[in-house]
Amino acid sequence: MRIARFSTGGDPAFGIVELAADGGKYPDTVSTLTGDPISMPVQLTGERHELDVARLLAPVIPRSKVVGVGRNYAAHAAEMGHEAPASPLLFFKPNTSVIGPEEPIIYPDPVSELAYEGELALVIGRICRDIPAERVDEVIFGYTVANDVTARDLQRTDDQWARAKGYDTFCPLGPWITTHQSVEEMGDVMITTTVDGQQRQHDSSSLMLHGIVELVVYISAFTTLLPGDVILTGTPAGVGELLPGHEVSVTVDGIGTLTNTVIRK
Ligand code: ZN
């Protein structure tokens, strides 16, 4: 199932996306749900919209946190001139950095080098702490696509990455959350990033140094995860610069494509 958050002009709502490509007899549609399926039982309202007329929003606004993982692909750590860390290297992005598909990434004035990082993201579905490996699948609500936008210059000059990773608009998520895949399936999907149509990243999630199960075990060993919290699993090799006017798209096979344009305010 694909769960989107959308607006047709009024308040945001959650809905189930059905794509004509799946053999449906309708055009791409979104069927409205009675509430937020991440945190409550929901039903269909009976209302259905064509996807074209719905504006997709970030599929989740993390209630408490977005956890990022640095240098989780060996080739990416190497291109940044670092050793791959023995344990996951974690950081937080504030929930106020989250934006949805087609929303602009704002190039901040004090920044001189902005970068894209295409990533597979997972969305937590339960309050959980100290999750053992065999229960990780149970606490994941689903998967989405992320762009871990980073101010590379500030990342080099600030000891902590709060500014480099945390500016408003630095966490595009979307286009929706998929709920039907297992941890094993998501452990081998292609992640592709394009800038103005040129392919820049194209690697499998199987190249993660610390896989999805290990990340959830490691993170939940130090912090309570809440429904709607998001974990970004790290970026493959091929990171590079974003400039105002660039259109950046991240595709994760089996989920979809997240596209945003960079603007200077
Ligand atoms: Zn990243």
DSSP E strands in the chain: the ranges are 2-7, 13-18, 29-33, 44-50, 55-57, 66-70, 89-93, 98-99, 105-107, 114-116, 118-124, 140-147, 150-151, 171-178, 190-195, 198-204, 230-232, 240-242, 247-252, 256-264
Condensed to tens digits (0 to 9), the pLDDT of residues 231-248 reads 999 999 999 999 999 999
pLDDT number for residue 265: 83
Give SS3 for 157.
Answer: helix
Q: Are residues 44 and 93 in the same domain?
A: no
CATH of the domain at 194: 3.90.850.10
CA of 202 to the centre of ligand 1 (A): 15
Q: Are residues 167 and 214 in the same domain?
A: yes
Condensed to tens digits (0 to 9), the pLDDT of residues 184-235 reads 999 999 999 999 999 999 999 999 999 999 999 999 999 999 999 999 999 9
Judged by average pLDDT, the poorest of 17-31, 104-118, 181-195, 220-234 is: 17-31
Note whether 207 and 236 are within 8 A (CB).
Answer: yes
pLDDT number for residue 223: 98
Structure tokens at 75: 């080739």
Condensed to tens digits (0 to 9), the pLDDT of residues 120-159 reads 999 999 999 999 999 999 999 999 999 999 999 999 999 9
CA of 120 to the centre of ligand 1 (A): 10
The domain total for the chain is 2
Q: Are residues 13 and 74 in the same domain?
A: no
CA of 234 to the centre of ligand 1 (A): 4
Among residues 56, 78, 99, the one where a domain terminates is 56
The residues pairing with 56 across neighbouring beta strands, listed in sequence order, are: 6
Inform me whether the pLDDT recorded for 63 exceeds 90. Answer: no
Tell me which residues have their CB within 5 A of the ion that is ligand 1: 117, 148, 235
Q: Are residues 107 and 170 in the same domain?
A: yes
**Residue 211 sits in which domain range?**
66-264
Structure tokens at 1: 């199932």
CATH of the domain at 15: 2.30.30
Q: Are residues 44 and 72 in the same domain?
A: no
Closest CA to 261 of 99, 48, 38, 85: 99
Considering Cα of 28, then 59, then 145, then 140, what sign does the dihedral take?
negative
Inform me whether the pLDDT recorded for 171 exceeds 90. Answer: yes
Condensed to tens digits (0 to 9), the pLDDT of residues 64-85 reads 999 999 999 999 999 999 999 9
Q: Are residues 243 and 162 in the same domain?
A: yes
Q: Are residues 197 and 219 in the same domain?
A: yes
CA of 164 to the centre of ligand 1 (A): 11
13 part of a folded domain:
yes
CA of 9 to the centre of ligand 1 (A): 33
